[in-house]
Amino acid sequence: MTDWNRFREMQTLRESGRPAEALTEFKALRKNASDAVDRSAILQHEALCYYDLGRFDEEVEAASEAVKLLPEENPSRPYAEFSLACAHGHADKSDLAVQELKAFLKKHADFLNDKEEIELRRSAQLRLIENLISLDHGVEPLSIANDLKMEDISPEERAELSYREAEAHRILGRGDHALKLYQEAINGPLVHSLAARAHFHIGEVLYDRGEFSQAVGEFKAAENLADPANPDKTHFAKWVEHTLRAAGNPKTDELPDC
């Protein structure tokens, strides 16, 4: 029988920033679990640990195995399918993630309209928007976003939605509209990784306008918000240096590598 008290302790361990230790514990717990549904639940949390560790291919493997363990009619199956779609997005397989998320929203439409599952449906829609944008689609994400904006979503969801809308408008070449939405996003409770990107994109717009001093401020904000382990931090720092040089020599045309 699965020790669910121990399971919750592992969740806390991961959430406290120790995913490697939590992963080891989850694997040990799964080894002793005899029930397929229990093993699937544990695998989904192993997938989250792999995500935290940036091991996205292994995240996909764990999430895929979690789905396989559950029959179609099992009530836990939708959660496992959503986990797998997210994992494919993390592994730069946005085309597959889009297919899976669209199928998920259609297949489980009745289930997802239950008031207890609305947050899962919104999460799926947000991830669909994110992956569509990764494929350089602008119109479809905005259509989904417009529907979501009409709902009573949380401040965190609204801030992320503003960021995703800005990305979509940027793809469509609507720089001014994107700028407004990036600014709206960073004024909300936006997670640091997205806030860093928003500041960077605001800086790009200001740089293109020749407003170098303001652009430097945005690039510095992006650098400060970026995780030290994320390559973005180095990229943002290069833009700070480049823009400071450009401010002294506006004819500078050598841009940092993207």
The domain segmentation of the chain, as residue ranges, is: 1-92, 94-172, 191-258
| Tokens (6 digits) for 48 | 């989250």
Asked whether 242 and 253 are in contact (CB, 8 A), the reply is no
97: which DSSP letter?
A: H
Query: Does residue 251 have a pLDDT over 70?
Result: no
Half-sphere exposure of 179 (CA within 13 A, CB side): 14
pLDDT digits (tens, 9 = 90+) for 95-145: 999 999 999 999 999 999 999 999 999 999 999 999 999 999 999 999 999
Q: What is the pTM of this model?
A: 0.91
- pLDDT-derived band at 39 (thresholds 50, 70, 90) equals very high
Q: Which two three-digit tokens encode residue 225?
A: 């918000």
DSSP string, 47-63: HHHHHHTT-HHHHHHHH
Inter-residue contact 47 to 62 (CB < 8 Å): yes
Encoded tokens for 88:
């494919």
The angle formed by the CA atoms of residues 110, 77 and 41, to the nearest 5 degrees, is 140
Q: CA 47, CA 190: separation in Å to the nearest integer? A: 24
The CATH class of 1-92 is: mainly alpha
pLDDT tens, position by position, 186-203 = 999 999 999 999 999 999
Angle at 247 between CA 245 and CA 248, to 5 degrees: 70
Whole-number CA gyration radius for the chain: 21
- Classify 71 as helix, strand or coil: coil
